[in-house]
Amino acid sequence: MIGRERTEQQDIGFPINQLVEIALRAISPGINDPFTAIRCIDRLAAGLCHLVQRDFPSPYRYDKNNKLRVIITEPILFEELAHSAFNQIRQYGKSDTAVTLRLLEAIDRVSTYTDNPQYQKVLRHHADMILQDSSNKLSQENDCKEVQKRYQAVIQSLDNGSMIKNRYT
């Protein structure tokens, strides 16, 4: 489909960007609504859980006669979607314990839906960045310990490559 505006059907990154934008506005100093940001993180995690269970589409598009018609030069990659989902929220929410913990829970949740080593590597990278940023920005020692504990649980889950479904539901 071709149109004047982006849609969820045309661009899988579009709803991710919308949720991230809502989360960032929610954790801005003027609004300071971590609950809304957490709900956005939960929705992002749910979407990524679905995505990691599917094969990403081929960049090749064929007509009904199986003749190649289009080659997409920028195919959709899980790494880019995870980057879009986690990076900005991590960057802007690194001093908020609840947001930081929920990001780690989201990564843990997504990891339970895939045993793909590349996806797990991407998820671990994001967990590492969350830990590093929060350890530099959280002022309370107990908060830092809680984040460290949650991070260790995520790493253990990633290392085990478990397929435990719906741990957080």
pLDDT (tens digit per residue) in 122-147? 999 999 999 999 988 888 999 999 99
Confidence of residue 2 (pLDDT cuts 50, 70, 90): low
Nearest CA to 35 among 131, 82, 130, 102? Answer: 102
Render pLDDT for 52-92 as a digit per residue (tens, 0 to 9).
998 877 888 899 999 998 887 777 889 999 999 999 999 99
Helices (H), 27-77: 34-52
Give the E-state strand segments of the chain in sequence order.
60-62, 68-71
163 pLDDT higher than 50? no
SS3 content of the chain, % helix, strand, coil (to 5): 60, 5, 35
Measure the CA–CA gap between 81 and 95, rounded to whole angstroms: 23
